[in-house]
Amino acid sequence: MIHPTAVIDPEAKIDEGVEIGPYSIIEKGVSIGRGTKIGPHVVIRDGTVIGKNCQIFQFASVGEAPQAFAYKGEKTSLLIGDQNIVREYVTLHRGTAHGGGKTVIGNGNYFMAYSHVAHDCQIGNHVILANGATLAGHILIEDYAIIGGLSAVHQFCQIGTHAFISGLTGVTLDILPYMLASGSRAKLFGLNAVGLKRHHFSEETLKVLKKAYRIIFRSGLTLEKAVKRIVEDEISQSPEVQHLVHFIERSKRGISR
C-alpha cells in the first residue's frame, strides 16, 4: 500500500509489496526491495538502494548528503541490505567521492532511535546501534557488534565482530573482536563473555580467547611480540583467534587497551 500523500518520483524503483506511509518522500534514483515498509514522514534521497523486508520508521532520514566539507555534490550512494530495522529519527548518509563513493549496510541490522551512520561507513550484519549511538565517517563495523546508547565512534575506527561497547563510551581507537569496551575514552574490560555465550560460542572457544587476551594485555609484551607468541601457541589454531590476530595486524589507528 502506498499512501496517496506520499511523494514518489516516477524514476524511483518500488518493488512489489512495498508499503509507503503518509507524506514520505522518495526521490529519483531510489530503489526499494520487496516487502519493505516505509513509515510516515520518511525522506529517502537519490542514490539510496534498500533491500527486501526492511522496516523504516517515521521521521528517518535515509541517504542524505554527507556532512563532509569535501563533499561537493558528487553522485554517491547508500546501499542497505535486507531485513534492517531503522527506527525514529535515524540518519543514514551517503558516501563521499574521496571515501569510495558509498556507505554500505549489510543485513539484519537494528538502528535504534536517533542513531547516526555517517559517510563511507561499512557495517556488516546483525549489528545493533542503540539510541543516540553515533558513527563518524569511514568506520568499519564487523558482524554482531553492539554499540551502546549515546556512544560516539571516531572516524576511521574499526569495531570487531561480537564486540560490545557500553553506553556513553567514546571510541577513538579500534576495538578488538569479542571484547567489552567502556569509558569516556574506551578501555577494554576483557572478553564479551555474556554476548558470546548468547551466540552459542563453546567453552573451549571462550577459553582460548581469554588466553589470547591475557597474552596481549597482561603479559607485559609489546603488541608485536604478543601477536608473535599467539601465533606460535596452539591457540592460533582457533578461527576466532586467527581473526583476532588478523584484526590487530590490519589496524591503522591502534588498539584500545
**pLDDT (tens digit, 9 = 90+) per residue, 27-69?**
999 999 999 999 999 999 999 999 999 999 999 999 999 999 9
Query: Helix-strand-coil percent breakdown of the chain, rounded to 5?
Result: 20, 30, 55
Amino acid 186: pLDDT: 98
The whole-number pLDDT of residue 150 equals 98
pTM as predicted: 0.97
Selected catalytic residue, list 33, 120, 148, 162 = 120
Give the separation between CA 4 and CA 24, rounded to whole angstroms.
Answer: 10
State how far the Cα of 189 lies from the Cα of 213, in Å rounded to an integer: 10
C-alpha cell at 59: 521521521
Model confidence band, residue 6 (pLDDT cutoffs 50, 70, 90): very high
- Measured CA to CA, the distance from residue 141 to residue 158 in angstroms comes to 6
Nearest to 174 by CA among 153, 157, 156, 192: 157
* 42 touches 21 (CB < 8 A): yes
Q: Name 159's bridge partners.
A: 141, 175
CATH code at 7-196: 2.160.10.10
Query: 63, 132, 137, 148: which one is catalytic?
Result: 137
Under the banding of pLDDT at 50, 70 and 90, the label for residue 230 is very high
Q: What is the mean pLDDT of the segment spanning 123-131?
A: 99
Clarify whether 95 is annotated catalytic.
no
Taking a C-beta distance cutoff of 8 angstroms, is the pair 215, 226 a contact? yes
**Strand partners for 79:** 49, 104
Domain with CATH 2.160.10.10 in the chain: 7-196
Read off the pLDDT of each residue in 99-127 and give the average, rounded to a whole number: 99
Task: Tell me if residue 174 is catalytic.
Answer: no
Reference 244, options 152, 162, 181, 147; nearest CA is 162
Q: What is the mean pLDDT of residues 90-101?
A: 98
Sequence-ordered list of residues with C-beta below 8 angstroms from that of 4, at least 6 positions apart, any chain: none
DSSP designation for 189:
E
137 is an active site residue: yes
Residues 123, 79: Cα–Cα separation, whole Å: 10
Phi-psi category of residue 23: left, alpha or beta, with phi > 0 → left and psi -120 to 50 → alpha = left
Query: Can you give the pLDDT at residue 5?
Result: 98
Q: Where are the beta strands (DSSP E) in 67-155?
A: 77-80, 85-86, 91-93, 102-105, 110-111, 116-117, 122-123, 128-129, 134-135, 140-141, 146-147, 152-153
Q: Find the catalytic residue in 119, 138, 160, 174.
A: 119
Q: Residue 94's pLDDT is what?
A: 98
**CATH 1.20.1180.10 is right for the domain spanning 201-250:** yes
pLDDT at 35: 98
Q: Are 247 and 177 in contact (CB under 8 A)?
A: yes
- Looking at the chain, which residues constitute the CATH 1.20.1180.10 domain(s)? 201-250
**pLDDT by residue (tens digit) across 15-28?**
999 999 999 999 99
